[in-house]
């Protein structure tokens, strides 16, 4: 009589894998990316150097746009609506590609208004825009 050798193997219990450390790590990753990310889309406007300091000079006479503190525009000294200014700038740019437009903001004009005017001039077709100080907007404290 032969007796078959019986090996009894103890059944291993299938232990549940702990998910808590995994969840902790995922939450930490989520926090890291949430705090380390920026959802705002930034851009930048290039400010050309002032005239006479090495910037490119236009062959044509520069067109001067004045921006008042209240946001009103003047074209070569005369008050002008934004629509008329856009037409005039587009006509000038059509004649001279490198037409220089000089924007002269009042000292108390806000940066946002300057940015709006720069956008407006670029949309009108002006490729060469520079900022200059308004010569009539003199502050005695500077002297």
Distance (Å, whole) CA 24 – CA 128: 54
CA 62 to chain centre: 26
Residue with tokens 């856009």: 86
Distance (Å, whole) CA 123 – CA 93: 12
Nearer to another protein by Cβ, of 5 and 40: the residue is 40
111 lies in the binding site for another protein (CB under 8 A):
yes
Closest CA to 87 of 75, 103, 98, 78: 75
97 lies in the binding site for another protein (CB under 8 A):
no
Least separation in angstroms between CB 64 and another protein: 15
Q: Which of residues 66-85 bind another protein (CB under 8 A)?
A: 67
- Compute how many residues bind another protein; rule: CB under 8 A: 46
Residues that bind another protein (CB under 8 A): 19, 22-23, 26-27, 29-30, 33-34, 36-50, 53-54, 67, 105-112, 114-116, 118-119, 122-123, 131-133, 139
């Amino acid at each position: 009589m032969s007796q078959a050798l019986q090996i009894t193997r103890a059944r291993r219990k299938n232990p549940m894998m702990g998910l808590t450390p995994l969840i902790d790590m995922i939450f930490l990753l989520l926090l890291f990316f949430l705090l380390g990310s920026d959802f705002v889309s930034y851009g930048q406007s290039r400010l050309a150097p002032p005239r006479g300091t090495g910037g490119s000079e236009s062959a044509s006479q520069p067109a001067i746009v004045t921006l008042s503190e209240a946001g009103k525009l003047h074209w070569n000294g005369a008050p002008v609506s934004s629509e008329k200014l856009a037409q005039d700038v587009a006509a000038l740019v059509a004649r001279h590609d490198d037409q220089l437009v000089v924007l002269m903001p009042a000292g108390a004009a806000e940066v946002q208004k300057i940015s709006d005017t720069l956008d407006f001039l670029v949309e009108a077709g002006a490729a060469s825009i520079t900022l200059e100080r308004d010569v009539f907007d003199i502050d005695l404290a500077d002297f």
